[in-house]
Chain A
Amino acid sequence: MQKLVVIGAGMASGRLLEQLFAANPDAYDVTLFNAEPRGNYNRLMLSPVLSGEKSFAEIITHDEDWYAAHKVNCRFGEAIVKIDRDRKVVVGAKGEVPYDKLVIATGSAPFIIPVPGRDLPGVVTFRDLDDVEKMRGACGQGKSAVVIGGGLLGLEAAAGLRLQGMDVTVIHLAGHLMERQLDPAAGYLLGRAMEARGIRVHTQGSTKAILGHARCEAVLLADETTYPADLVVLAVGIRPEVRLANDCGLEVARGIVVDDAMHTSDPDVFALGECVEHRKTCYGLVAPLYDMAKVLAKTLLGEAGAYEGSEVSTKLKVTGVDLFSAGDFADKEGREDIVFRDPGRGVYKRLVLEGDRLIGAVLYGDTADGAWFFSLIKDATDVSEMRETLIFGPAYQGGAKADPMAAVAALPPEAEICGCNGVCKGRIVEAIEGGATTLDQVRAETKASSSCGTCTGLVEQVMALTLGDGFKMPTAQPMCKCTDLTHEDVRRLIKSQGLKSIPAVTQELAWKTPNGCHSCRPALNFYLLAEWPLDYRDDRQSRFVNERNHANIQKDGTYSVVPRMWGGVTTPAELRAIADAAEKYDVPMVKVTGGQRIDLLGVKKEDLPAMWADLNAAGLVSGHAYSKGLRTVKTCVGSQFCRFGTQDSTGLGIKLEQLLWGSWTPHKVKLGVSGCPRNCAEATCKDVGVICVDSGYQISVAGAAGMEVKETEALAAAPTEEEVLEITAAFVQLYRETAKYLDRPYKWVAKVGLDWVKAQVVDDLESRKALAARFEISQSVYRKDPWAEHAAADERPRWAPLADLTLEAAE
């Protein structure tokens, strides 16, 4: 009988032995080494053991009786000293064992992040039962755990520890949880489910150190946030365990290199499981391991078998969380998405198609069809015939195309239309028959569609069905093709539903696309930062190229740089710095702008950070000449030098600019302050214009001097500079809070009416102060120089040329 030595008693080798013994129980005399002092168990179920939802006894796959029945010589808890391939022996700590065939199934090792404190007691990984025992030992009510890593393993650990009574925080480096398996929308739902369990989730969190003396006490992040930690679980990833293979000279890349028959570079040595690399791919999920085991059993029995790689799918084992992900769902050219959302049930489904094939699927909240989608992916089935109804799963295939009106017509009177307020179809019909013929009347009468608003379309369909020709479907312009909601609806819902991220908006408001589009993302980004200045983190990727790069792109792909000159006032030192920068970076044109600034035109993108740093050093900051935000405050010289000046218009302009700079607004905002009615600063065609008079200041708003030319309209007369500043801040804040994205102030005022604006900003003193206060809260975040941030050394590589910039879409 040939001698087979197997190193590692995990799930891969366990399945191999099952297959081997089933096919030929007498083919090999087997010796099984395992570093753990126990045999094979179902590692996938370790997290329910941690949570207490399973016992260890339940997850043992091969017990002592099984090994005895198959005459396996078990060497558990014994370390391997070395593999001597010349002598064909495996040397264990308790002696050597000869082999004819050797199988290496050493699995993977957890990746340990290289931070100070990683060796402290209380810092554990999550790979085996010993780790679970350590975690269980540390559990207790009122104790805190920090899980570093929001992937599959980390989240299962977090949920388990939470069930065990711990206060749990998950630190995750990426922007959303499980980013390798999930897109941002599903990641958002998962984050929400975790938070509903009382688990704190900190995304974009980079661990700086694990703090503590005798044992871990806290985790410190790069942003200086600290979380207390009686236990720290490192779950940032795994890497193939290849040390033994390396030591004995086998070919190793990321993993032990194997061919389709699972041979390593030595014909008598085989490998399988997480430790191998097959066709440049390493696997960390169980299905490929089982496929490999099947092939290797055949190879060991002299039969032909070939492993050709595996498609993998993921499920998360957290009770009450239904999640499925398979295939490839990265955004790439030529791919199309089909998205289905049901905010009421917390369902998100996304299918990714390439040509006529399904290549990826992400399901959250409704995973019933996961296996069917997975089989379509694996088999590369042509789905062109069922494309229309594909997202509804196999139950819908072959049926007629759904007519939404027919579906609503077929609903019985007791069918719920508005989930938020529990309003059924019968109640809406009753209200309509009772005289409610507009959506607003139906809302007032029944409350249907008055909360989240996502049933508005359904309510309108019920109205159309009931009123027939008497009902005209509203023609309000939706925000973009991603949604049927208007800008106003979206703003209202962001506030009423407390939505604080783009994935939250797209999921809860049932976006039709996975991640929004170039049209809605900048608008959502603005609405979110305006509504939640302290909670929402500006999403650079949602900005137009000029705002993303903090400079205006020119027709030749170069950029223009405009330093801020407060109120249009500068100094010889600043002018020298600008001149030096122009020379140093070979600026082809230096131009004075209409807004009293100096524009350096023709700057190469890669020079931007260095130029900003130079200008920063001279005290100059970004002029935001590219932003939907405050651009310039143009002033005349005022009473300081001008014979006609009535007030210090220059000084007031500087104060206004210092108040408003850095703020993001729906569109650009320009101000002018003239020292007398001669109006040299041309204040009466600005968004906000101030004319100084003997008695104080006349504030007017909503002017324009572009494609459209419009004189400002009088808003208020203010006796003091302080009042001018307060009214201006309140006006800008009201504009920020209520205007549609990309509406200039004059368009917004035309829509809402100047009287309404006056009432909020001038007449109602309490409202004015509240608006100004909210503006100041927002400015506490945004009143800063973006150049300084982007000129930092570690940011500079991002500005290096990567592609032809002229291909990048300007706004």
Chain B
Amino acid sequence: MMDAALDAVIDGAKLTFVEVSEVWVPKEGRLVLAEGDYGRHTDFAKASGTESFAPGEGLPGKVWAEARPVVLKSFEGSYFKRTEAAKAAGLTSAVAIPVFAGAELKAVLTILCADGDGRVGAVELWKDSDGLLMLDDGYYGAAKHFEWVSQHTHFPRGQGLPGGVAASKTPILMRDLGAGYRFIRADSAGKAGLTTGLGMPVPVPGGTSYVLTLLSARGTPLAHRFEIWDARAEKVGRDGGAVLVDGICAREGALWNDQTERRVLPWQGYVGRALATGVPQVDGSGAAGIAGGYTSIVVLPIHSDGAVSHVVAWYI
């Protein structure tokens, strides 16, 4: 049977939507680079390795100072500090996600994307406003029509991927983005084919709810494998660690199993490290520990009530 969800992560692996992933951590009052996956962009990697950001400075510093996720669609004339290096690498936009444990900033994850007509996908940031999820900002690559429609839509709590994530306070992986997006898909059918979406809450101090969604398209998948791990004590009990509650992989198919549990313990692999440290993990080395034989992995822990409650991972 034709299955668009699997196709969305299986098809074409040549053009990736995300080009660079970085983790910035606070150290002595500044954000310094902890890890980065720069792929082929070695010059940009060099420019980044020597960089650090004070609160309010550059994109990571802005995220820190404002305690909120930020989408930056153009570097020209912005507060982005590495504009020249990014331009040389063909990187045109970025999304920065703060990882807060209560009021403490554990890290900032930045994702940089390259422009190009063939790249369709979306990274969206939704903000809760009186129970309605409104688009705060988003990067859509070539999916211009999708961008326009997203700007003119909203989701009540419980509805659609953003509303579902906000209501359940849980990351959600959708294979079919549903009726909320249906008219959009119909309009760009066969071209965009945005079907698979990973939505996750982005907790920040102050009570505002943000939801980050990564929408993957056939042809230029945002990632080839997605995983959601549940680490809440009320789920994992005395054994601790985290259990895989959902996942889909271009190579291995459905990763969830309602009969057999998959569990990682703190420090066990990339997910375990994110669990133990509370800090995102990024590796683009193609190391043996990256599941599914992929070359890159991004692991993002989500904190709640002073502990890591969930971990999401995507593999490129």
Where the two chains meet, the residues of A that have a C-beta atom closer than 8 Å to any C-beta of B are 42, 44-45, 51-58, 60, 139-141, 143, 159, 162-166, 196-199, 318-322, 345, 347, 365-369, 372, 393-395
Contact = CB atoms under 8 A, between A and B. Distances in A.
Contacts of B130: none
23 contacts: A55-B4, A56-B1, A56-B3, A57-B3, A58-B253, A139-B179, A141-B180, A163-B161, A163-B163, A163-B174, A165-B160, A197-B157, A197-B168, A198-B163, A198-B167, A319-B164, A319-B172, A345-B234, A345-B305, A368-B233, A368-B234, A372-B237, A395-B237
A53 B6 contact: no
Closest 3 CB pairs of A and B: A320-B168, A368-B237, A197-B158
Contacts of A198: 131, 156-159, 163, 167
B159 A165 contact: yes
B176 A55 contact: yes
Contacts of A141: 159, 179-180
A199 B158 contact: yes
A44 B259 CA distance: 12
A658 to B, nearest CB: 44
B160 to A, nearest CB: 6
A163 B158 contact: yes
Interface string B224-267: 00000000011111100000001010000110101000000000
B160 A60 contact: no
B175 interface: yes
Contacts of B248: 58
B258 to A, nearest CB: 7
B176 A52 contact: yes
Contact of A367 (B158, B179, B235): B235
B295 interface: no
B312 to A, nearest CB: 14
Interface of B: 1, 3-6, 131, 156-161, 163-164, 167-170, 172-180, 182, 233-238, 246, 248, 253-254, 256, 258, 305
B170 A393 contact: no
Contacts of A166: 159, 179
A118 B167 CA distance: 32
B216 to A, nearest CB: 13
Given A44-B258, A53-B173, A365-B234, A165 B167 contact: no
A116 to B, nearest CB: 29
Nearest to A416: B306
Nearest to A56: B1
B198 to A, nearest CB: 11
Contact of B174 (A44, A53, A366): A53
B63 to A, nearest CB: 23
Nearest to A395: B238
A318 B6 CA distance: 22
A322 B1 contact: no
A55 B164 contact: no
Contacts of A321: 168
Given A319-B168, A395-B238, A52 B175 contact: yes
A391 B287 CA distance: 44
Contacts of B235: 322, 367-368
Given A45-B258, A52-B177, A347-B234, 9 more contacts: A55-B4, A55-B6, A58-B248, A139-B182, A163-B164, A165-B182, A199-B158, A368-B234, A395-B237
Nearest to A320: B168
B163 A320 contact: no
A58 B234 contact: no
Contact of B180 (A165, A322, A367, A395): A165
Contacts of B159: 141, 162-163, 165-166, 198
A452 B207 CA distance: 19
Nearest to A143: B179
A803 B169 CA distance: 50
Contacts of A322: 234-235
Nearest to B174: A52
Nearest to B234: A366
Contacts of B163: 163, 198
B233 A163 contact: no
Contacts of A44: 258
Nearest to B233: A368
B170 A320 contact: yes
B175 A55 contact: yes
Contacts of B238: 368, 393-395
B254 A164 contact: no
A159 B160 CA distance: 11
B265 to A, nearest CB: 15
A410 B139 CA distance: 48
Contacts of A42: 258
Contacts of A164: 178-180
A291 to B, nearest CB: 14
A42 B257 CA distance: 11
B169 A320 contact: yes
B262 to A, nearest CB: 15
A353 to B, nearest CB: 21
Most B CB within 10 A of own CB, among A58, A163, A196, A369: A163
Contacts of A197: 157-158, 164, 167-168
Contact of B172 (A53, A199, A347, A367): A53
Contacts of B174: 51-53, 163
A57 B6 contact: yes
A365 B246 CA distance: 19
Given A139-B178, A198-B167, A55 B157 contact: no
Contacts of B167: 196-198, 320
A121 to B, nearest CB: 19
B212 to A, nearest CB: 17
A140 B185 CA distance: 13
Nearest to B157: A198
Nearest to A396: B238
Nearest to A342: B234
A196 B165 CA distance: 12
A599 B97 CA distance: 76
A55 B258 contact: no
Contacts of B160: 163, 165
Contacts of B169: 320
Nearest to B235: A368
A319 B246 CA distance: 11
A196 B159 CA distance: 11
A196 B180 contact: no
A369 B176 contact: no
B258 A57 contact: no
A383 B68 CA distance: 50
B301 to A, nearest CB: 18
Given A162-B158, A197-B158, A367 B258 contact: no
Contacts of A143: 179
Nearest to B246: A53
A141 B169 CA distance: 22
B179 A165 contact: yes
A105 B34 CA distance: 58
A652 B236 CA distance: 68
A60 B1 CA distance: 10
A196 B175 contact: no
A367 B244 CA distance: 16
Contacts of A163: 158-161, 163-164, 174, 178
Contact of B182 (A54, A140, A345, A395): A140
Contacts of A58: 3, 5-6, 175, 248, 253-254, 256
Nearest to A394: B238
A369 B175 contact: no
Nearest to A419: B305
A634 to B, nearest CB: 54
A165 B258 contact: no
Nearest to A414: B306
A52 B176 CA distance: 5
Contacts of B172: 53, 319
Given A58-B253, A163-B178, A197-B157, A367 B234 contact: yes
Contacts of B179: 139-141, 143, 164-166
